Amino acid sequence: MPNKIAIIGDSESIKGFAAIGFDLIECDKPEKAGALLRNTAETELYSIIYMTEETFVSSERERKKYEEKSLPAIIPVPGLKGNCGIGRQRLSDFVERAVGSDIIFNN
Amino acid sequence: MAVMNVNPTRMQLQKLKKQLNTALRGHKMLKDKRDELMRQFLDLVRRNMELRVSIEEQLKKCNESFASAGAVMSSEMLTQSLLTTSQKMFANPSTKNIMSVNVPVFTTEKRNNDTSAVYPYGFAFTSFELDDAVSALAKVSEQLVELAEIEKSCEMMSVEIEKTRRRVNSLEHVLIPRYTDTIKYISMKLEENDRSSKARLMKVKDMLLEQAHHYSEQE
């Protein structure tokens, strides 16, 4: 049963997560994030994979595959470079997909 | 009017009526499913947004503390302090069924339940900013797992709602009208056939009676 937690991102942003017991997967070049995500997800060891926003954006194609599967959950978190609103945009997209237009967050 | 390409027979009519019944029942059920999913989804997505806003705020503070810790300590020292951790966090997944969508539920488990286990380093050579950052991150960790659970649920539910919505619409606007139109077409055609055969029979009867009794000559 996959039960580990991983975080993918640049080494500076994710360093702290080692202290609380996440597995770090360093990815200093966002273009490699897709391959790293695929490798990480395919090990089937991880139930949750957090990604910094930069890596999250650049691995869109790989993420599609895991959209309908319940595991792993791939979640964007803001990195050191700050928050660029991807997480909120994502929620807004969910509402748009479900309802037809974003009636809650109105972005 | 969209009429299907079928023979206008009674058998076909019966068959179509049954199919229409099934389609109507399916439509009602799918509509109920969509409404219930939507209700739960909207609750969940609101909760998700609240959680995300709070987590992003906390992570921002953590990152600020890490940045100040990085300014005071050397980068090697910082990495060394953090990477020697013995703490390990697990999220054991199980599933919950929400209207036939199997969403994950995570229960967290830590190798070491001691709150001080997140400080893998000695306090002598590290700055207090680092302690702040790590303790703040430890606080947010449970919430992060909850966020993962809710956000994944929202993602899966939104996909399912979209599918159900499409099904409901296709039943409502394509399949059901097609069935009703075809049923109407067949029953009209059958009635028309009835009328024409009745008229024919009456005509034939008239002709036969005429042959037998020669009414027109008697007048």
Instruction: For B67-124, give the DSSP string.
Output: HHHHHHS-HHHHHHHHHT----EEEEEEEEEETTEEEEEEEEEES---GGGG--S-ST
pLDDT of the residue at B108? 85
* Residue A29 backbone dihedrals phi, psi, to 5 degrees: -115, 115
Q: Is the CB of A71 less than 8 angstroms away from the CB of B154?
A: no
pLDDT of the residue at A62? 84
Q: What is the pLDDT of residues A43-53, one digit of tens each?
A: 888 899 999 88
* Mean pLDDT computed over every residue of chain B: 87
Q: Is the CB of A97 less than 8 angstroms away from the CB of B162?
A: yes
Show Cβ contacts of residue B58 under 8 Å, excluding neighbours closer than 6 positions.
B136, B139, B140, B143
pLDDT of the residue at B37? 93
Mean pLDDT confidence for B148-163: 92
Other C-beta atoms within 10 Å of B121: how many?
Answer: 19
Residue B8 CB burial class (10 angstroms; 0-12, 13-18, ≥19):
middle
Which residues of A fall within a CB distance of 8 Å from B156?
Answer: 68, 70
- pLDDT higher for B41 or B117? B41
pLDDT of the residue at A101? 81
Domains in chain A (CATH in brackets) are 4-79 (3.40.50.10580)
pLDDT of the residue at B28? 96
Q: In which band, very low, low, confident or very high, does the pLDDT at B1 lie, cut at 50, 70 and 90?
A: low
Between residues 58 and 97 of chain A, which touch chain B (CB distance below 8 Å)? 67-68, 70-71, 73, 75, 77-80, 82-83, 87-88, 90-91, 94-95, 97
Instruction: Please say if the pLDDT value at position B172 is more than 90.
Output: yes
**Cα dihedral B124, B126, B128, B133 sign:** negative
Instruction: Please say if the pLDDT value at position A20 is more than 90.
Output: no
Give A25 to chain B, closest Cα distance, Å.
12
pLDDT of the residue at B110? 81
The region, left, alpha or beta by phi > 0 then psi within -120 to 50, assigned to residue B126 is beta
pLDDT of the residue at B124? 65
Q: What is the pLDDT of residues B199-209, one digit of tens each?
A: 999 999 999 99
Asked if A68 and A54 count as a contact pair (C-beta separation under 8 A), the reply is no
pLDDT of the residue at B125? 67
Please identify, in words, the CATH class of the domain defined by B10-202: mainly alpha
- pLDDT higher for A104 or B173? B173
Q: What is the pLDDT of residues B14-31, one digit of tens each?
A: 999 999 999 999 999 999
* Chains A & B: contacts with CB separation below 8 Å: 146
pLDDT of the residue at B60? 87
pLDDT of the residue at B193? 95
Q: In this structure, what DSSP letter does residue A22 have? A: P
Q: In which band, very low, low, confident or very high, does the pLDDT at B117 lie, cut at 50, 70 and 90?
A: low
**Cα dihedral B142, B144, B145, B150 sign:** positive
| Single pTM value for the model | 0.85
Query: Is residue A45 less than 8 Å (CB to CB) from chain B?
Result: no
R_g over Cα of chain A: 14
Q: Is the CB of A97 less than 8 angstroms away from the CB of B60?
A: no
**Partner-chain residue, chosen from A48, A79, A99, that has the shortest CB–CB distance to B148:** A48
Instruction: Identify the helix (H) or strand (E) that includes residue A76.
Output: strand A73-77
- pLDDT higher for B183 or A107? B183
pLDDT of the residue at B169? 94
Counting residues of chain B whose pLDDT is more than 90, the rounded percentage is 51
Q: What is the pLDDT of residues A57-81, one digit of tens each?
A: 888 888 888 887 888 899 998 887 7
ipTM of the complex as predicted: 0.90
